[in-house]
Amino acid sequence: MSADMLYEKDVTTNYLDGKKIAFIGYGAQGHAQANNLRDSGFDVIIGARPGKSWDAAKKDGFDVFTVAEAAKQADWIQVLTTDENMGDIYRESIADGLEEGNILGFSHGFNIYYGEIKPPKNVDVVIMAPKGPGNLCRRTYKEGFGVPALYGYWQDFSGHAEDLSKEFAKGNGAARAGLLKTTFKEETDEDLFGEQNVLMGGVTALIETGFEVLTEDGYSPQLAYFEVQHEMKLICDLIYEGGFNKMYADCSNTSEYGSYVIGPRVIGPESKAAMKQALKEIQDGTFAKNFMDDFRAGFPDLKKMRERSANSQLSQVGAELRSKMPFVNDADKYSTPED
């Protein structure tokens, strides 16, 4: 089912005016959204734990409180912590301070959709999900533009939840680029599916497999890295700018012909069947249960997979080559995530 794109001219209500907004979490999305909403003229405070986020928010000129204090003061509580911690933070520091008519806001539907958070019936529950990382949301806002966003609601106590979601997106700069209506189910299903099967899981598995095929047949690991990983950005940039047509137009006839002939053999019926199974496990909660079980056990599986990825030949060769590229030199400080 298609959806109509809305822009700033289409968001004409003012239900958000006069409301105090508390951002819970001041990471990539929290930092971007809080600054954007403040620059749009809204009353914004931050709820955080003492440490890096607290200090960053203070440095940026915000009034910073504990999560419980910020949530208690606010009319709108925008919860932007990590998915795995969000339920505990809500139960420990937000739930008891909610008042009738408050708005609970999210940028990903995971915790509401899978029941980790069960809000009371007398509050609005809305979603505003930017389709881009936090620093891009902030940068494009300051440039006078924005990134597109999804808007919608789970629960409409006030009768204005949808309008509130659109207004919040507009304040974030997203209506400059375009807004699409969604549901918590649709946003969660599609977001997880895209990450797992294409944007992250699919792309990284494809790169790793291509690297292994070349190196196992005796080709240079360094050349293999450039062929299957380094050039990926260049191809994705062309697709971002003008879709497949621009990408094919900017590449050789040889590469275009090979893409049409070989691509469907690599990503064929078996891959499609695996994607359908992955979608089913998102829809029925299997993935969410496995993820939360691993989190509650201390992330043993995630840590093993993280270590394997960080120590693979592909990662080591890539780090060595990138160390000689000044334009990406700082990137590898992120290659071994903290526990």
252 among annotated binding-site residues: yes
Please tell me the total number of residues recorded for the chain in this structure.
Answer: 339
Residue 223: count other Cβ atoms within 10 Å of its Cβ: 12
15 among annotated binding-site residues: no
27 among annotated binding-site residues: yes
171 among annotated binding-site residues: no
Q: For 217, phi and psi rounded to 5 degrees?
A: -95, 10
28 among annotated binding-site residues: yes
Calculated CA dihedral for residues 6, 7, 13, 14, nearest 10 degrees:
130
49 among annotated binding-site residues: yes
Q: Side-chain half-sphere of 12: how many Cα atoms within 13 Å?
A: 2
Please say if 108 is a catalytic residue: yes
210 among annotated binding-site residues: no
109 among annotated binding-site residues: no
231 among annotated binding-site residues: yes
Catalytic residue among 31, 108, 160, 230: 108
Which residue do the tokens 């050039």 mark? Answer: 231
Q: Contact 328/322 with Cβ under 8 angstroms?
A: yes
Q: Side-chain half-sphere of 339: how many Cα atoms within 13 Å?
A: 6
107 among annotated binding-site residues: no
335 among annotated binding-site residues: no
| Catalytic residue IDs | 108
Binding residues are 26-29, 49, 53, 134, 191, 195, 227, 231, 252
Binding residues for substrate are 252
Binding residues for NADP(+) are 26-29, 49, 53, 134
Binding residues for Mg(2+) are 191, 195, 227, 231
